[in-house]
Every structure is written in C-alpha cells, then in structure tokens.
Chains A and B, each alone.
Chain A
C-alpha cells in the first residue's frame, strides 16, 4: 500500500474510532541505550526510541462494528542506526470489523493479518468467515499483499510485479466434541516468474493448498497437524542443481497424551522439502530453494506437574538436514511457583549434540557446533513493585568453530525492575550485559513505559 493510501486508511479508521462506545488506547514507549564492541564491528552506541500505539474501539455506530489500529514508530536519538535511516514506522494492522451475534460471522476491511489454514499473511483488503449449518466453516480473503523491500532495486521491481494480488480461503468441518478438519488455499501473486518476459530467475509468487486437522475427543488426547502442497508453476531450476522435486512443502504434526492433570507426553514430527517450502521467499540467498534433500525432525517431551505450582519438562528433539547432518537437543526445564507467594522461578539445561560441519579447502576439515545451554530466571511482585532476572549461558564444545572467534563461553544477564504507578500506567527499566562471539561486549539499558486508557474489557491480555 502506498504511503498516501496508508495515511488515508489511518485517518479514516482513527476518526471512526472516536465514535466507539468502548474505546481503549494503549501503548508502550521504549527508549534504549545500547553499546556494543565486537570483532568486525566498529564500537557503536545506539539510542533508538520506539513507540508502539494501539486503539481498539467497539460499538462504532452499531454494537457489532469495531475498529482496531496498531503500529509503531522509531527514531534514533544517537548518530548511529541499526536500520536504514534514522527513523521509521509501520502500521501493523488497521481495520474495520463487523462481528455478528450468530454463526461467528466476521467481516474485516483494511490492513489485517489473515490466519486461515495455509494463509498466515498481512493483507490490505477484505476478509470474511462464518460458521455454516452442519458444522461447516467457511472463510475467504483477498487484496494486496503487504510488501516489504527486497535486496536491490531490480529485484524490487520484479518482486512488486509478481506479487500483485493475494487471495485464498478455507473450508472446514467441525465434529462436535471431536475436533475439526479443513482444506485451504492461498495464491500470493498472479504473475509467476515462469510467465514473465526476460531472464527472471526468482519466483516470488506462491500457490499452496493445505489440509489441516485437530482431533481432541478428550482432554487426554490431542492430535494436530497440517500438510501443505505447493501447486505453483515454477521456472526451471538452474543447470547443475539437484533440488528436491517433492511438491509437499511441509508435514507438521503433533500428538499430546495427558494421562492425568499431572502427567503428559507429547510427540512431534516435521518434514520440510526446501523447494516447495521456501516458495515465495524474498531472501533466496539465505533460503535456497535448490538445496538438495529435505529437513526432518522428531520430538518427544514429558511433562510432570502443573504450571500453577511445580512443573518439570524433559524433552528431546532430533533434527536431520540432509545437506548438513543430524543434531539432537536433549534436556529439561523446571518451573516453580511457591505456594502463597508472588514469586516464580525457572531453571533449564539442554545439550545439543550435532554433527561436525565440513569445510572445503585444500584439505577437507571439519568443526563442531555442539553446545550446552543453561538458563535460570526469576520474577517477583510485591505491591506495586515488580522485579525479574534472567541469565543464559552457552558453552560450545569446539573452540575452533570459526563462528565463535575463539570464544567458547557465551552469556547474557538481564535484570529488570518495574513500578505500577496506577491501574493504567506502568514503568520499568532493564539492564543487560552480554558477552558473545560477534559482539564481545554488549551493554543495554532499556526504559519502558506502558499505558492503557479506556474501558478495558474483561479477559486476559
């Protein structure tokens, strides 16, 4: 959406919000002071000030209409900036919503995030969803995709041309007490590189179909998952590549078994085929669609106890990227909330054992990327005061790993204190210090002011 259109949308929605019977204005102001020193980096001081601002107004003209706005703006108070330019901003969402009292009928128009089956997108357009008789659900959306910059101007022109429109939908069937199945479709861009003139080498368009399911007949059993198929017409792959031709972008499934409120077992399985899964990327140098092979992972976790008091999780996850090798992450987390207190604390340990990475040169050598991770954290509340602390330490097995610049012990410590100045206003400050291979020393101070004015609804956050 062009700047002028965004401004018109914002002005229209902001003025509409003023008519709401129930208006909430909320925001977070963050001011950071940040010093870093590191190998290959100049000493730098950053001082970004960021304002997040949101408005939710319900009962706009009629009970079922509401307006929702949220965005951020940033300005660098120091000379240096981590981003392009010294300032910037983004409207993350801004839409008018109609919500009917029956059938979960919802209609939205403006900028919003679609979350319908295979489509999880930011769209400037309109969407509708409804429950139908017989347990069916139907949703559809269409509009312009919210576009972001690619790397160079030539690619940007091609990118803008290819991603001209986005639309999709989902049809679901609900089975009372048992769960839901659904099929969905998304088409992001109509002018695929295959049908463009010239030597286009990158597809930014995407056309995918997915099937999803959730089967939860009791609290003790939960089967969830989805399979995504790539149905786009792609350009021929460059000569000499040996990519994975599978049309299956992703299988992603999980199963949860709850033997009692205190014991649970969960398993996951994921398979991703690079060519299909990376379809539509605007960063092909990083997400290489022509990488041979696939990625798979299997995970298992065992939960004992309850988050309300004492909870222990033991987990293991095995990953396999065919062009690299295998890795196993194993460990556990403990979370404790002593009865009758406002304190909560956690402790975790994980070991990642990974295959060595080969380095091609005159002689083929390898380096290791296995590491141990220890984390401890604490939160505490007393009256209007809050405090928290968080410490993470990584120790790498192989100091020769070139990514570590000879530093095998890496850590970060963060402390925070806050004061609830009123029911609608809270201030807090964080101080963090870290030692990492890239940034030898990194010190950050963050000041945070959070406010919420209006007639807040019940519920959570």
Chain B
C-alpha cells in the first residue's frame, strides 16, 4: 500500500512540478534576511516602510505589523507567508514553542523573557485541569498528535 501510494504521489508531484516550473513567476523572491537588524520586541513594518505591497508576497507591509492580534494569531500569516517570517526569524525560534517532542515547556525555557508570549506560565500543571474542562481543543493543537509523552503519565 505504502509503495503504491508513494509511487502515485511521486508521479503527481513530478508532473505538477514540471508544469509549475514552466509557469514560475518572474518576480524576485523575498529577501533571505532583513537587510537591517530589527530590534524591539514587537516591530511595526510601517515604521520604516511605506504601506505598499511587499515584493514577493503582494501583501501590504502593514499586514505584517506585529500588533497584539498579529502576534497572538500569527499562524495565519505564517501559513501563507512563512518565507517572510524567515527574513527575521530563524526556524529554531519557532521551535522555542512549536516542538514535535518537547523537553522543556516554553515558559521554562523563556523564563528570562516575561515580555514574550509563552504558554504554560505559572504552575500550569494544576491550572490545566481547570482550563482543560473549558476548552480541551486548545490543548489538542500542540499535544493532540505529538509532544504528549508527559500527558500519558496520567491520561493513559
């Protein structure tokens, strides 16, 4: 079954890939890294850039301003434009929180950065029994299919 599916998938990917190569956009790719060092915990792109479409994304610079809502729901921007995120953030900074198999909670790893959004601060082991009753789907995003080896200590 595996070989059959892999063969079909490879064939489809190759054909789509060949087609895509002939249709590749001539636009310049997003820069590999931001040419100037960016400081501050929550930069606003429009502090320096005009609010015009960013090359390589066609979205306005302002749509990447790090407002509180953007930081909280950054999954939407990262999902469509992770190349833009990568100009300033290395993938290992994503892995501070997004871990397939974690060894340390983000709150513990980043205890010296209370200004950063970090889940599980403040004795969360006890609080999760309360929060989990209200919204277990919030736990699922990180612990539903991976990163749950500690959960199985009690949830067998």
Contact = CB atoms under 8 A, between A and B. Distances in A.
Interface residues on A, range: 35 or more
Contacts of A130: 20-21, 24-25
A84 B35 CA distance: 45
A442 B34 CA distance: 42
Given A122-B100, A277-B137, A461 B114 contact: no
A131 B143 contact: no
Main secondary structure of the interface of A (DSSP, over half): strand
Contacts of A175: 58
Contact of A295 (B76, B135, B150): B135
Contacts of B155: 283, 285-286
A325 to B, nearest CB: 8
A254 B33 contact: no
B112 A388 contact: yes
Interface string A363-384: 0000001010001011100000
Interface stretch (A10-18, A88-96, A237-245): A88-96
B137 A272 contact: yes
A287 interface: yes
A133 to B, nearest CB: 5
Interface string A416-459: 10100000000010101011111100101010100000000111
Given A105-B29, A142-B13, A438-B126, A151 B98 contact: no
Contacts of A37: none
Interface in B89-126: 89-95, 98-101, 103-104, 108-109, 111-115, 121-123, 125-126
Contact of A132 (B24, B83, B149): B24
A20 interface: no
B59 A180 contact: yes
26 contacts: A54-B90, A102-B25, A105-B29, A132-B24, A148-B147, A148-B149, A151-B156, A164-B2, A169-B16, A176-B53, A177-B59, A217-B60, A222-B70, A254-B76, A308-B44, A311-B68, A335-B115, A344-B41, A379-B115, A403-B126, A410-B123, A411-B123, A436-B126, A457-B32, A458-B34, A459-B88
Given A133-B26, A437-B126, A457-B32, 4 more contacts: A54-B92, A122-B100, A307-B42, A390-B111
